[in-house]
Amino acid sequence: MTNGSRERVLARVRAALADVPADEPVERRPSERPYAESHDAGPTLDVLVERLVDYNALVRRVAPDRVADEVAAALERCGARRILVPAGLPEEWLSRTSVERVVDSPEDPRDVAELDSADGVVTACTVAVAETGTIVLDGGPDQGRRALSLVPDHHLCVVRADQVVDSVPQAVRRLDPLRPLTWVSGPSATVDIEMIRVAGVHGPRTLEVVLLDPDA
Amino acid sequence: MRIALFITCVNDTLFPDTGRAVVRLLERLGHEVVFPTDQTCCGQMHYNTGYRRPAARLAVRFARTFENADAVVVPSASCAAMIRDNYPRLSRSGSRLARRMDSLAPRVYDLTEFLVDVLEVTDVGAYYPHKVVYHPTCHGLRFLGLGDRPYRLLRAVRGLELLELPEATECCGFGGTFSVKNGDVSSAMGFDKARHVVETGAEVLCAVDNSCLMHIGGTLSRQRSGLRTAHIAEILASTEKEYART
Amino acid sequence: MSATFLGMPPFPEAAKRAVEDSRTRHNLHKATHTIRAKRTRVVDELGDDWQRLRAEGERIKTHTLRHLDHYLERLEESVQRAGGTVHWASDAAEANAIITRLIRRTGETEVVKVKSMATQEIELNNALEAAGITAYETDLAELIVQLGEDLPSHILVPAIHLGRAQIREIFLQRMGEWGRPAPPDLTDDPHALAEASRVHLRELFLRSKVAVSGANFAVADSGTLLVLESEGNGRMCLTLPETLISVVGIEKIVPTWSDLEVFMQLLPRSSTGERMNPYTSTWTGVTPGDGPQDFHLVLLDNGRTDVLADTVGRQALRCIRCSACLNICPVYERVGGHAYGSVYPGPIGAILTPQLQGMASKVDEALPYASSLCGACYEVCPVAIDIPEVLVHLREKVAESKGHVSEKALMAGAEAVFGSATALDAVQRAAGLARGVVPRHLPGPAGKWTDTRDLPDVPARSFRQWWNEREDGR
């Protein structure tokens, strides 16, 4: 049935497009992109911080050598006792905290009940977008499986300054579509009741970003 | 300049004062106005209701009637938009109508466009000592892109106090045959528009299209609001001398 | 199968009832005005670039549609290369049969769903129910509609017609039927309502083995699918189950990954009025060790090729389901989504539904007239669909069809009058003579005018009479 449907749908598409000249090029040239590279919203890291805060994320902007202290302090503040950690997270980030770690990797995954019982998760990211206040995770070893940053209620994400771009086009160019990507802009939210944005539904209700800024 | 007036069927039949005001205004500004008497209707009602062929025949009639005009002035934004936006869709490319319209369309203007862009005048020497609110009609706003032209003309009128209309860009609900085919929604939209108009405390509501004014004005009149409507041409044509006379 | 709700009266009748429902009108006014303001702010933030992005979005979609066969085959190849299975469904029945078969193969009898217009269009939930499979909607608004046994009234926020107090009632009464019940002291604070939905669905998310989703975009060159969402229910469905079935209309394709540079700017700002929605998930086939290991893409025609065959109406397939046209529409604001009697309400629904399924019924035939042609929808559309143009095009099809005898006679009469200046002049003179005897309330269709509005006074002389007299006097 499916095979017959494939040919039927394609034949219908071709019949519907009888008006399109046969010699019209199928490929578009990527150079034909007339829109802006970015929108001059201000200094990149300042904009990222402003827009993360605008979408209810907690943000700490610190010098890179302060990362372990900030991570420890953040975990302390939220009262986490047991946290999830992707196997490739830099060891030094957790060097100042004594909370219990549950290490997860695609090769040795924790089951969903274990993910659910953790108080939070610490990950890196692959790209952050200043203009939209977005962090993007691509499932790399320091970010882990998608479920890691989803099931726990608290997501602490460490962002390096060199990972931050100004705009969506710049981010798209850095990303590999073959990897599973999660774009995160603030904690989970809904507008389904009277179109008013309410933070905190099924995803983590707290998003905390530690931004490593060499000039901080 | 010799200006051909396309009065439109609605103005011709129901709002002759608007046409007279346009003639008075343009002549006062030193121009000759002609009225090709073969003209009737632009075909907007037929076109918008789905009657394409009658609309196309009326388009041909318009093109023939105004073919040799230097400039065609239309005191109705929706009719001007019908001619400029939709006539090309009614004609097959390369057809006689298409060729005629290609040359004619750039010479067809809404009154306020013509004053500001062609005659390059915003102060037309008018006097109108009233509180006025302007409703930007959909065709003027979104199809012709009149922008601030009507506001600039009104602000230059002596004695006129221009008030701001809340939710000005929202449709009044007229929509031609929509006003009867979906009379309940049309009325609901008209009520809201009328309410916003009344809230401004204006004495007069003006617009660039009498069909919208007929709808809002009909609602205001049924509600005995005491507010009256006037096409922008009537305000721009009004002078101190005339006021002294009345 | 049809995208029209059964038993619905045609638009003018349904609209009359809706206009008289003051609570719904209040809810709609509040919601649409809130979202309009948000959209305006984030669109203006991009300055002139918005129109360039909009034009580019239009170009990409138009180009894709003109070569849709090519891109469909490319998408199929990319998805298969990445470990997914591709199915083709020419109509709703085929799609539902494929999905039912895939779910049965897993041995599961319940599935979680991410909000998807395509699965609503094919009435998948009913088909699954008939096959003994329970489908749970997990989007908050979909959940409200499903629990309340209501119909969706908006593309993005299907429960937009309900206010917080009504939602609280539904949660208190219905949540106990499955999953965690609502707490008895539930308030109508939106935070509390969102929390209740979190608790209600949590266990279901963690145990579900099969999910059904749609997709906002399907990228032909990489085989990537995207879902944009807010709550995290999408991430739950796309990540935790073992099997994922995505139902995607054939028009959802974009050619290349880099095309998302445009759409990831256009869609969130047009849709929820945010710079970016909280969560976007992208996946390409199957990723070993992460997420569902069994992935199926169902490509759905179901009338889309009929739309594609119409060179004017085709542009409706550019739609990215943002719902900006609903939010700005003065007609939608006053009548809500139910009056359209269709899965796709509002201006886009008025051009999409009659094209997808034809205009054989009175409900479908009325849709192209459910607009004052004010053009606000076209102005906000992020892919520049000229909705008024398509509405008029569809009206032409209705006017050309059988029936509508009295309107055709009226239009022919009007054309006869406008066909000659002499005839018009005669009518105007007759009207001038009859002035003063025009009744305040007219009979017939014109009564729809005089029910609420006064008629203008008929002048004694038409403009052309005045002009001719003036010329004669010179």
Same domain, B114 and B174: no
**Could you tell me the sign of the dihedral formed by the alpha carbons of A178, C285, C323, C65, in that order?**
positive
Range of the domain at B180: 131-245
Which of residues B84, B118, B152 is at a domain's end? Answer: B118
CB contact under 8 A, C452 and B219: yes
Q: Report pLDDT for C438.
A: 79
Q: Report pLDDT for B97.
A: 85
Q: B210-222 and B183-199 are packed helices; what angle lies between their axes, rounded to 10 degrees? A: 80
How many other C-beta atoms are found inside a 10 Å radius of the C-beta of residue A190? 28
CB contact under 8 A, B178 and C464: no
Same domain, B167 and B70: no
When pLDDT is cut at 50, 70 and 90, the band that residue A29 belongs to is confident
Same domain, B142 and B240: yes
Q: Which residues of chain B lie closer than 8 angstroms to C399, CB-CB?
A: 49-52
What is the average pLDDT value for chain A, to the nearest integer? 94
Whole-angstrom distance, CA of residue A47 vs CA of residue A53: 10
* Boundaries of every domain in chain C: 11-304, 405-473
Same domain, B11 and B112: yes
Whole-angstrom distance, CA of residue C387 vs CA of residue B3: 34
Q: Is residue A5 part of a domain?
A: no
Report the percentage of chain A scoring pLDDT > 70: 98
B222 in helix, strand or coil? helix
Q: Which of residues 153-182 of C touch A (CB under 8 A)?
A: 157, 159-160, 163-164, 167
A77 and C CB contact within 8 Å: no
Q: Is residue A28 part of a domain?
A: no
Q: Report pLDDT for B144.
A: 97
Whole-angstrom distance, CA of residue B219 vs CA of residue B133: 16
Q: Report pLDDT for A30.
A: 63
Nearest Cβ partner of A191 from C206, C232, C272? C272
Q: Which of residues 83-122 of A touch C (CB under 8 A)?
A: 105-107, 109, 112-113, 116
Topology of domain C11-304, CATH? Rossmann fold (3.40.50)
Which is nearest to A145 in space by CA: C291, C227, C228?
C291
Number of folded domains in chain B?
2
Look up the pTM and report it.
0.96
A185 in helix, strand or coil? coil
Same domain, B114 and B150: no
* Regions of chain C short of the pLDDT cut 50: 1
Kindly give the residue spans of alpha helices, DSSP state H, lying in chain B.
Answer: 9-14, 16-28, 44-49, 52-66, 77-81, 87-90, 96-104, 111-113, 138, 149-155, 178-181, 183-199, 210-222, 232-237, 240-245
pLDDT in tens, C401-460: 988 888 999 999 999 999 999 999 999 999 998 888 878 888 887 888 888 999 999 999
Q: Report pLDDT for C6.
A: 63
Name residue, tokens 């003579």: C433
Report the percentage of chain C scoring pLDDT > 90: 85
Average pLDDT over residues B45-59: 96
ipTM over 0.90: yes
Say which CATH number the domain at A166 has: 3.40.50.10420
Lookup: tokens for B206: 């003006």
Q: Concatenate the DSSP letters of all residues of B134-191 into one string.
A: E---HIIIIIS--TTHHHHHHHTSBT-EEEPPTTTTS--S--TTHHHHTHHHHHHHHH
Q: Report pLDDT for A1.
A: 47
Average pLDDT over residues A132-145: 98
Q: Count how many Cα atoms sit within 13 Å of the Cα of residue C169 in the half-sphere of its side chain.
A: 7
Whole-angstrom distance, CA of residue C269 vs CA of residue C324: 9
Cβ atoms of C11 and B182 within 8 Å: the answer is: yes
Say which CATH number the domain at B200 has: 3.40.50
pLDDT in tens, B144-156: 999 999 999 999 9
C403 and B CB contact within 8 Å: no
Q: Is residue B123 part of a domain?
A: no
Q: Report pLDDT for B137.
A: 98
Range of the domain at A110: 41-212
Cβ atoms of B207 and B141 within 8 Å: the answer is: no
pLDDT at B201 over 50: yes
